[in-house]
Amino acid sequence: MSAYVQPAVLANTANVNRSWVTKAAQLGLVNPSALDGEDVIVVRVFAFVDQLVWPGKKRSRSEARAMEPWQSLAVNAARDAARDTATRMDSILWITPEGVEVTNDFGSHSAFVLEHQRTNFVAVPIGEWIAELPPNLETIFHWPRKIMDTTITVHDTAIALLAFSTIPQQLTVFATSPAGFDDTTYQKVKQHASSQHPDVAVRVIERQTSGAQLRWFELYDLPDGGVVRRPVDDTSLLNEYGPQLKHFGRRRDQEAT
For 240, list phi and psi in degrees, rounded to 5. -85, -40
Of 90, 121, 137, the last residue of a domain is 137
| Cα–Cα distance for residue pair 177/150, rounded to 1 Å | 14
Strand-pair partners of 173: 163, 204
Is 220 among the domain residues? yes
Do both 80 and 155 map to the same domain?
Answer: no
pTM over the 0.85 mark = no
| Cα–Cα distance for residue pair 2/174, rounded to 1 Å | 28
What pLDDT sits at residue 96?
98
Is 150 among the domain residues? yes
Do both 32 and 87 map to the same domain?
Answer: yes
Do both 150 and 249 map to the same domain?
Answer: yes
Do both 159 and 240 map to the same domain?
Answer: yes
Q: How far is CA 177 from CA 88, 99, 151, 214, 222, in A?
A: 29, 46, 12, 10, 19
Residues in the chain: 257
Is 13 among the domain residues? yes
Do both 109 and 202 map to the same domain?
Answer: no
Do both 93 and 169 map to the same domain?
Answer: no
Do both 109 and 71 map to the same domain?
Answer: yes
Each residue's pLDDT expressed in tens, for the chain with a length of 257 residues:
566 789 999 999 999 999 999 999 999 999 989 999 999 999 999 999 999 999 988 776 666 678 999 999 999 999 999 999 999 999 999 999 999 999 999 999 999 999 999 999 999 999 999 999 988 899 999 888 889 999 999 988 899 999 998 788 899 999 998 878 999 999 999 999 999 999 899 999 999 877 656 689 999 998 888 899 999 988 888 888 888 887 686 644 344 33
80 is in which domain, residue-wise?
Answer: 7-137
Is 2 among the domain residues? no
End-to-end CA distance of the chain: 36
Is 227 among the domain residues? yes
| Cα–Cα distance for residue pair 155/167, rounded to 1 Å | 32
| Cα–Cα distance for residue pair 233/137, rounded to 1 Å | 28
Residues 6+ apart with CB under 8 A from 189: 152, 154, 159, 161, 173, 175, 181, 204
Do both 11 and 127 map to the same domain?
Answer: yes
Describe the chain by its helix, strand, coil percentages, rounded to 5.
35, 25, 40
Do both 85 and 162 map to the same domain?
Answer: no
In this structure, the number of other CB atoms found within 10 A of the CB of residue 236 comes to: 10
Do both 156 and 120 map to the same domain?
Answer: no
Number of domains in the chain: 2
What pLDDT sits at residue 257?
36
Do both 27 and 75 map to the same domain?
Answer: yes
| Cα–Cα distance for residue pair 74/42, rounded to 1 Å | 9
Is 233 among the domain residues? yes
Of 137, 169, 188, the last residue of a domain is 137
Do both 187 and 236 map to the same domain?
Answer: yes
Of 74, 108, 137, the last residue of a domain is 137
What pLDDT sits at residue 254?
42
